Structure 1
Amino acid sequence: MWLEMLITNAEVYQVGLYDLRIDGSIIVEMGRLQPLHGEPVVDAAGGALLPGLTDHHIHFLSYAASLSSIDCSPSKVANGIQLAELLRQTPGDTWLRGFGYHESVAGDIDRHWIDQCCDHRPVRIQHRTGRLWIYNSAAIEQLKLAMEQQNSNHPLTTSSLESGRFYDADQSLGDLLGRHLPPVAEASRRLAAFGITAFSDMTPSNDQETFSLFKRLRQQNNLLQHVQLARNKPFTQTNPTDSVMPGPVKIHLHESRLPALQDLVDRITLSHEHGVAVAIHAVTEIEMLFSITALEDAGTIQGDRIEHASVTPDYLLEKIKALDLTVVTQPQFIFGKGDTYRQDVAADSLPHLYRCAAFVNSGIALAGSSDAPFGCPDPWSSMRAAVTRRTSSGHVLTGDEVLSPEQALALYLGGLHSPGKFRQLEVGATADLCLLDRPGLLARRTLHSDHVKLVFNQGTPVYQKQDCISLQYQKAQPTL
């Protein structure tokens, strides 16, 4: 890490063409600056200099695990034949993990379906919702063996063991089979290459052990981003740092088994009494209405947010605005899953699906995210989807919800504690920076991660595009 660095000829976002000096982790000067003796200098060559991007909703460990898994999503395997071939051709005889599965590929597959394709190794495939795992027989035998060895009373139903389909059983499955650290360093490097310098991990099971793990990862330089961790309850986190900090309490609703309304109100109230905001997972219209009704009864505090807001009719917009809630959405789903939505989502709900312009025009704070690994981790892909509203086949879905390129970029420029609120690059700000290889007027035409040239986290370069830049130690002329 350099104590000082000078970035010259940068098009500072929404400011103008400036030089910028970093001292430690802070921006200390902006203007027309001369290099100090022995100071590293980066010539931005007129490229846009942005605040580092923030992914406001990701499941980081699951995303890391997906890097050593096979992609079973409709975008990769169009039908059951292709999925079966993928399972057969993937080499190895140890555990095989798949992710992203949807019924449009081969229907409601079970252990017997997977056995026909791959019965020589344990296989588990995760549904794209993240709620369902499908195990083959070899994997179930591993589960049964673990249950015998641990004399376990884990709540895995007989029907699940027979079918190999396990809903909302991550905790039990992990307890039985153990948890292994996925390639987190590679996952963090990939996020850095997109310009991401911070993310909110919104996994609902995050607990004290999760905080300890993420702090160790950061201390070991396996994490290049600032991290905010949602909590499973409003516990007090000991020794939070600037790089790993506690976030809201995550409340995961499912329309098929909603709690009693008063139970949800009580849970929100308990969190607020501890000074902790809530982040409520709400996908369907019923889940949205249920969440908003509970928040109206409990009251809101700064930082309360709705995750996804996948279907939001007009009548809910005023309620969200009145409660001063932030909405964290995933525009990339329009591209990645839009063609499936066109088939599966009711026609009267399609105009209200993953809205963007309606929130912005209503004055509701709106932030962007990936929901990776259930969505694409590239924020620039999400920005393009917000601007075009095109599905992967080219259909436009709710075209009146388009954002301008600047509005789409702003979804990712908020802070961890202030999603939806633009961070300004100014003297005194933390040097979390994303430098592009071209000016903003050119970058807005394509909104592509290939344009990311250099990324700083707290003044330290964490990504440099190959052969695009070299750090030259410039020597200033000695003063006579």
Structure 2
Amino acid sequence: MLIRNGTLLDGRVVDVRVRDVVTEVGPDLPAAAGEQVLDAAGGTVLPGLHDHHVHLRAAAAAATSVRVGPGEVRDAAGLAAILAAAAPGDDGWIRAVGYHDAVAGPLDRRLLDALSPPLPVRVQHRSGALWTLNTAALREIGQVEHPDGRFHRADGELVLPDRAPSLSALGKQFSRYGITGVTDATPEQSRPDLENLAAAARSGALRQRLHCMAPADLAGAAIAGLTLGPAKKILDDDSLDLDALTAWIAAAHDRDHPVAVHCVTASQLVVTLAALRAAGGHAGDRIEHAAIVADDVVADLADLRVTVVTQPNFVAERGDQYRADVPADEHAQLWRVASLRDAGVRLALSTDVPFGAGDPWAAMRAAVTRRTPKGVVLGERERISAEAALAMFLGHAEEPDRVRAIEPGAPGDLCVLHAAPTQALARLDADLVAATVIAGAVVYRSVR
């Protein structure tokens, strides 16, 4: 296809011919016979956005779940009302997500029994680290004698019904945002898990280019429909083990496979950096989240050349709760961006959908403004420009900090906006997405 009259971020107005890859970029390209032509009318043409940390199955399941976080529910009565109104899924369960103790205190089976209808109900904490089940749900899984119905991620004892949600609606939403590629950061996926995701990509249910974190024993494997990324490790503060983490990293590196370590506390980051230094670095190693970064580890992040994939959107989504829960002297350490970039740390942004909202444009705005839901600026020194925020969603899947360009030979994945660059950067709004092109095919076109 041929995109006419597009404005690149550097201000040049060009035509772009694109198939599976970009084949030509220049002024006044002639249309070939029968070639599809899209007139950008001076709007911005970008490389398609890449969301560098998502959870596909969880995001698809969340679309059929009820949200019960502080943004939706204020107290126990509100939680009871929203659960009573919730429709159970085909499995007969009510699945709720996004819970925080600020709503009704720490949930256990007895409190959930008092607040929920007499159906199996499971409620996920917004961290993703805890599920709470009511008695009806415990009976369904054969654990009616469980003391409190609370199942922590680290325990590994909970097996829940798999809703096997379709990824089609999620893929369409990605396309509306101008997203042409995603990195699935779900940990410990088996080859069959990855084959299922690849099948969704090959079938067209998920049109985006798919990059998946995968265990090191799959290093070098070929799965049609996706590419394989680093091995993922989730850490929990109560089970931090430097020697074990070092050995795990070294074993992955021995297979020529990078690692990605989930770090949402200062302790987790300190242990991870020590393990990476002991095991030795590898191209493609990543830190996921880096939710809290103390000043004394910034230089280590830069020195190790590890890529930090972070989510400043949580400032916009949860910032007021952080101000209440996190000591004031640690506020400047939350979801850092500008100071890491200025120190030479490799950086990329993502949404962490469904644990964060899935709109990358909102994440960019959060990186620029650092405003909480109540409008308070949290981490003013961590603000970055709109240009920098956008660039952090334009990286390669394998090298998230290396920004893609629109040039011959580049992947044929593009995002066309209704506005020229100056106006687009001033707004950073998903409503500006006019068309999304993947492998030379239009997968989304806005109606105006």
**Which residue number in structure 2 is paired with residue 271 of structure 1?**
252
SS in 2 for 1:376: coil
Deviations 1:256-309 (A, max 9, x none): 2112x2211111111001010010111111111111011111110110111111
**Do the aligned residues in 2 keep the contact of 1:119 with 1:138 (CA within 8 Å)?**
no
Q: 2:97 aligns with which of 83, 96, 99?
A: 99
**Corresponding residue of 1:152:** none
CA apart distance, 1:26: 1.4
For 2:131 and 2:154, the matched residues in 1 are separated by 8
1:184 aligned residue (167, 173, 187): 167
Q: How does 1:431-442 map to 2 (within 5 A)?
A: 431-442=412-423
1:237 positional shift: 5.5
Give matches, 1:71-470, under 5 Å.
Answer: 71-92=67-88, 94-144=92-142, 161-168=146-153, 172-174=157-159, 177-236=160-219, 238-241=221-224, 243-259=225-241, 261-466=242-447, 468=448
1:284–1:310 CA contact under 8 A, matched in 2: yes
Aligned to 1:471: none
Partner Cα separation in structure 2 for residue 88 and residue 348 of structure 1: 41
d(CA) in 2 for partners of 1:305, 1:15: 33
Is the 1:9–1:19 Cα contact (8 Å) retained in structure 2? yes
**1:80-107 CA deviation, whole Å, 9 max, x = no partner?**
2211110112245821100000001110
Q: Is the aligned partner of 1:8 residue 2:8?
A: no
Between Structure 1 and Structure 2, whose CA radius of gyration is higher?
1
Secondary structure at the counterpart of residue 418 of structure 1: coil
Distance 1:464 1:267, change over 3 A: same
Counterparts of 1:172 and 1:179 in 2: how far apart (Å)? 15
Q: 6, 23, 28: which is aligned to 2:23?
A: 28
Matched-pair contact (CA < 8 Å) for 1:192–1:463: yes
1-side partners of 2:274 and 2:114: how far apart? 47
Change (3 A) 1:356 1:379: same
Kept after mapping to 2: 8 A contact 1:49/1:435? yes
Closer/same/farther in 2, CA of residues 438 and 274 from structure 1, 3 Å limit: same
**Percentage of identical aligned residues:** 37
8 Å CA contact 2:310–2:347 kept in 1: the answer is: yes
Give the TM-score taking structure 2 as reference length: 0.96
After superposition, the C-alpha distances for 1:347-399 in whole angstroms (9 at most, x for unaligned) are 22111110010111112111001111110110001000000000001110010
Deviation at 1:136, TM superposition (A): 0.9
Choose the corresponding residue for 1:40, options 36, 42, 46: 36
Which amino acid in 2 is paired with 1:254? Answer: D
Per the alignment, do residues 47 and 279 of structure 1 end up closer, same or farther by CA in structure 2, a change over 3 Å counting?
same
Q: Does the 8 A contact of 2:5 with 2:40 survive in 1?
A: yes
Q: Secondary structure at the match of 2:288?
A: strand
Whether the 8 Å contact between 2:154 and 2:236 is mirrored in structure 1 is: no
3-state SS, counterpart of residue 234 of structure 1: helix
Shift of 1:341: 0.6
Give the alignment's TM-score, normalised by structure 1.
0.90
